[in-house]
Structure 1
Amino acid sequence: MSRAEAQHGAYLAALREAGAEVIALATHLEHPDAVFVEDTALVLDELAIVTRPGASSRRGECAAIAEALRPHRELHAIDAPGVLEGGDVLRVGRTLYVGLGTRSDREGHEQLARLVHPFGYAVRSVPLRGCLHLKTGVTALDEQTLLAQPEWIDLQGFEGFRVLRVDPREPFAANTLRVGETLFVSASHPRTRERIEAAGFATRALAIDEIERAEGGLTCLSLLFRRREASAP
């Protein structure tokens, strides 16, 4: 556990160095997967949506996330019987791509679409084949470029993007995280990192191999959003 805790601490420090303000939540020993906060909420500029995880063992995590987000956004929720996990939602501009697999379903997708449509977001489904979450198989390096594992993701749903493919020897390398001008990649995947940098992107590698052993990745450990400015009196 000490190595995982050290890697998590280094991750938080790296976020701060990239310019993020970090809000750390209390540890909940009864919910060992709670460190993967991405799955329990989706935070957009206009609202926050508390999800209903497809893994029933994780639904107890949602109350704490809702309380943490309440000061920052108007809260909405995915209701039963729908299921949706944040790791299955990839935002690129005003489009939300939703992975449909073992953790998120069509009902969750449709509820999400109804919630965000008034704010001008498009929602598109992406069938998954062989990965836990959509962002296990694809993330955005910028708004024009994706990094993908094509064996797990149907790339036909991403027409118009420049697509970089992970090195075949590093199938789990597609999960990257952009914070401001910093693009974080996993230190476990040096060959894919070379491909990313050859395409013109500067990267910073983080060691998260203990997190990866639990099927986690860089995006899983945080919810990124901009603070709303206080209204003038």
Structure 2
Amino acid sequence: MPVAITRQLSPSITRCELTHLEREAIDVERALAQHRRYEHTLEVLGYEVLSLPAEADLPDCVFVEDTAVVVDELAVITRPGAVSRRAETAAVAEVLAQRRPLVRIEAPGTLDGGDVLRVGRRVFVGLTGRTNEDGVAQLRGALAPFGYTVTVVAVEGCLHLKSAVTQVAPDTVLLNRAWVDSSTFAELETIDVDPAEPSAANTLMVDGAALVAAAYPRTAARLAKAGLLLVRLDMSELAKAEGALTCCSILLND
């Protein structure tokens, strides 16, 4: 059975890191309800959800994706670019060590999982304020023995690579061309976000369906027109913390 690793919402999420957004009040109870719905959706789609406990002194810990990059052969434990987030990796590494050999990104490298997009054996890594060239080089070294190619992607205007582009079908990505160089993905089919919804590119592909944020109906219509099965989720409170659909899980399709 495939596994989804998630993490509970920290009561201190209102002190989350922010880079591109102005701080807004987060309705914590509503955020909890949205996260529960997210986990339930993964269960309905066939995943065993392993929900790790939150820690009060780790405001961003619900965004578990950033702590690891997992492929079939191993798990790479990241070194997040935000110093306040580096302690988040310990609990995730403990769980992943039961399922994969571990490799760790070491200083001076930084790498956030949200900057890593894998499409088959192709791995795209965004250079952002959270991921540096040394982190990319270490990831490349860890994955190369298993036949993965790593391509560096320039990102601007958003937090992570996956803020700008995500996979929605086996050889198709959804992207915002204003935030990422679309020529990098020339070998793939591409669907553009609606111009009125620049933040709509983050989706989560799960078992033939694409989880999409309910806040972006125009982009969802484009995906539906392309024949994709959609599951719409309200992520509005987590979005205030610069979080999105991929951020809240690590999927192991064992």
Q: TM-score range by the shorter chain?
A: over 0.9
Preserved CA contact (<8 Å) 2:208 2:229 = no
Deviation at 1:185, TM superposition (A): 0.4
For 1:214, the aligned partner's letter is: A
Q: How does 1:1-233 map to 2 (within 5 A)?
A: 1-227=28-254
CA distance in 2, matches of 1:145, 1:59: 32
Do the aligned residues in 2 keep the contact of 1:18 with 1:181 (CA within 8 Å)?
A: no
TM-score by length of 2: 0.88
Tell me, yes or no, if the aligned pair for 2:122 and 2:149 is still in contact at 8 Å. yes
**1:180 and 1:126 mapped to 2: Cα distance?**
26
Deviation at residue 62 of structure 1 after TM alignment: 1.0
**TM-score between both structures, scaled by the size of structure 1:** 0.96
5+ unaligned residues in a row in structure 2: which ranges?
1-27
Following TM superposition, by how much is the alpha carbon of 1:32 offset from its aligned partner in structure 2, in angstroms? 1.0
More strand by share: 2
CA distance, structure 1, for counterparts of residue 236 and residue 121 of structure 2? 32
The Cα offsets for residues 161-188 of structure 1, whole Å up to 9 and x where unpaired, read as 1111101111100000011122110001
Indicate if the aligned counterparts of 1:100 and 1:126 stay in contact, CA closer than 8 A. Answer: yes
Q: Which residue of 1 aligns with 2:3?
A: none
What is the root-mean-square deviation of aligned Cα atoms in Å?
0.7
- Asked if the contact 1:84/1:104 (under 8 Å) is kept, the reply is yes
1:100/1:128 contact within 8 Å kept: yes
- 1:144 Cα deviation from its structure 2 partner: 1.5
2:215 maps to a residue whose letter is S
Distance in 2, matches of 1:155 and 1:179, equals 23
* Percent of aligned pairs with the same amino acid: 48
State the partner residue of 2:8.
Answer: none
How far apart, in 2, do the equivalents of 1:106 and 1:155 lie?
20
Distance in 1 between residues matched to 2:166 and 2:99, nearest whole Å: 25
Aligned pairs, number: 227
Q: Which runs of 4+ in 1 moved over 3 A?
A: none
Instruction: Pick which of 186-195 and 138-147 moved more.
Output: 138-147
Instruction: Check whether the contact 2:81–2:129 (CA below 8 A) recurs between aligned residues.
Output: yes
3-state SS of 1:108 partner: helix
Equivalents in 1 of 2:119, 2:253: separation in Å? 16
CA deviation vs aligned residue, 1:85-106 (integer Å, no higher than 9, x gap): 0000000000110000101011
Tell me, yes or no, if the aligned pair for 1:20 and 1:179 is still in contact at 8 Å.
no
Alpha-carbon separation, structure 1, partners of 2:105 and 2:89: 11
For the residue of structure 1 that corresponds to 2:99, the secondary structure is coil
Work out whether residues 209 and 228 of structure 2, in 8 Å CA contact, stay in contact via their aligned partners in 1.
no
